[in-house]
């Protein structure tokens, strides 16, 4: 099984990169499943039902989110209608939507996507490690899941690394999102779990984590109110990983960075 997981999509330019490159990647690498983190897709803040449909239309199977999930109010009722979008599982009880779901690829293989948010330097949510344990009491590789993918949305690299080691051998792959900066540590852990601390963003890297650099720099320099935060608008780099998963064990055999377009050096798997 081969899965593509794309980092946080930021603004219109990030959306354009997904729309342009995902269909090509699906065909070129014979991808079985595509996951995209879309929490910043609407001008850098949240996502809308229309954007969700745009992503599904080009071959995205599941959309994850994060701390900006409710920034666009019209997405809230959408969670009761659309099973292909997830919010973090450790949000408070009663929050719309869910943070784990089972999907099927074209060959009928069971792909379980899990979504959690970290707590260091983030909102004071329920314990993500306890939430992960609860999910793994329900979903198990080799039993009722052929692959398990976790998007762990968080600020601190230490917390994301700890989660990766915590579930090593129990899930297929753990990827971090949220910082919008790709890390250089894509690897398969000793127990067989693919891992990367942060995927980076699908957005314009001539910016400050996807926001226009002039506005962001002024905020740091002057410590005064500035113009409204706006997503940078030049060509985006699509940042992702491609993961190969053994059909027999559900564990990763390889994980490779994917970077296309924009300012970052390109990286395409052989």
Q: Which two tokens stand for residue 63?
A: 């959309």
- The CA distance from 230 to 213, in Å, is 9
- The CA distance from 179 to 175, in Å, is 12
Q: Which residues are catalytic?
A: 68
- The CA distance from 95 to 76, in Å, is 10
Is residue 167 within 8 A of residue 195, CB to CB? The reply is no
- The CA distance from 123 to 93, in Å, is 15
Could you tell me whether strands 110-117 and 100-104 are parallel, antiparallel, or unpaired per DSSP bridges?
antiparallel
Could you tell me whether strands 201-202 and 110-117 are parallel, antiparallel, or unpaired per DSSP bridges?
unpaired
Listed in sequence order, the residues at least 6 apart from 80 whose beta carbon sits closer than 8 Å to its beta carbon are 96, 97
């Amino acid at each position: 099984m081969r899965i593509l997981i794309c980092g946080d999509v930021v603004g219109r330019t990030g959306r354009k990169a997904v729309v342009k490159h995902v269909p090509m990647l699906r065909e070129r690498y014979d991808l079985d499943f595509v996951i995209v983190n879309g929490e910043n897709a609407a001008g850098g803040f949240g996502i809308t039902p229309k954007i969700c449909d745009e992503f599904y239309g080009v071959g995205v199977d599941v959309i994850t989110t994060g701390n900006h999930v409710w920034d666009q109010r019209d997405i809230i009722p959408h969670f009761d209608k659309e099973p292909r979008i997830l919010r973090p599982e450790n949000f408070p009880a009663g929050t719309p939507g869910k943070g784990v779901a089972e999907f099927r690829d074209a060959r009928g293989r069971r792909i379980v996507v899990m979504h959690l948010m970290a707590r260091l330097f983030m909102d004071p949510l329920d314990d993500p490690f306890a939430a992960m344990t609860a999910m793994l009491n329900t979903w198990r590789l080799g039993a009722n899941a052929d692959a398990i993918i976790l998007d762990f949305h968080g600020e601190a690299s230490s917390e994301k690394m700890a989660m990766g080691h915590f579930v090593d051998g129990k899930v297929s792959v753990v990827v971090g999102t949220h910082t919008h900066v790709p890390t250089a540590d894509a690897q398969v852990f000793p127990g067989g779990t693919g891992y990367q601390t942060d995927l980076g963003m699908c957005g314009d890297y001539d910016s400050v984590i996807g926001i226009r650099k002039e506005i962001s720099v002024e905020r740091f320099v002057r410590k005064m109110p500035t113009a409204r935060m706006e997503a940078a608008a030049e060509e985006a780099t699509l940042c992702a990983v491609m993961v190969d998963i053994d059909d027999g064990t559900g564990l990763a055999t390889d994980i490779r960075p994917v970077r296309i377009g924009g300012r970052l050096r390109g990286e395409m798997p052989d």
